[in-house]
Amino acid sequence: MRKTSSPVGPAQVLDRAWAQDFVVGLRVPDVGLAHRGEGAGRQTQLWDESGTCVTLVSHEAWWEHGAVTCYGPRNLWEEVVAAYTEWRGAGQPGLDRHGLTVTADGTQHAWRDAPAQAPGSTDWSP
């Protein structure tokens, strides 16, 4: 178990337009989330599809050490925040700038602006 703080408020990342949720989902497709509680006790739980990682994020005092608790080898909140930050830094591109390539073997690659800019390529920015 590791504890840390969040660099950005969970509500800013999670409680906005569905387009932002879509784009974050493209970047971290193996992460699910659920909200628990309300008001000061609100938390978001994130998990990966493999079942090896869970991250809990407190919405109250998110900037303080201990607001983010990670179990397993990945910090899922860090990955979600990185995807959100990249999207914001790119000017919040809309859905019309995204696409999906499916190869003959069924492998799927989400991209923005050009198929060569899929995750795993050297640059996802325009």
Query: From first to last of its 126 residues, what are the pLDDT tens digits of the chain?
Result: 999 999 999 999 988 778 888 888 888 989 999 999 887 789 999 999 999 999 999 999 999 999 999 999 999 999 999 999 988 998 988 888 888 888 889 888 888 888 875 555 444 444
Tell me the whole-structure pTM to 2 decimals.
0.82
Which domain, by its residues, includes 84? Answer: 2-91
Classify burial at 50, counting beta carbons within 10 Å of its beta carbon; exposed 0-12, middle 13-18, buried 19 or more.
exposed
DSSP single-letter state for residue 95: G
Q: With respect to residue 102, please indicate whether it lies within any of the assigned structural domains.
A: no
> How confident is the model at residue 126, as a pLDDT?
40
* Confidence (pLDDT) at 122: 45
At 118 the pLDDT is 54
Is residue 40 assigned to a domain? yes
Report if residue 65 sits inside a domain: yes
Q: Is residue 61 part of a domain?
A: yes
**Helix, strand or coil, per DSSP, at residue 50:** coil
- Does residue 25 fall inside a structural domain? yes
Determine the residue type at 93.
P
Structural domains counted in the chain: 1
Q: Is residue 74 part of a domain?
A: yes
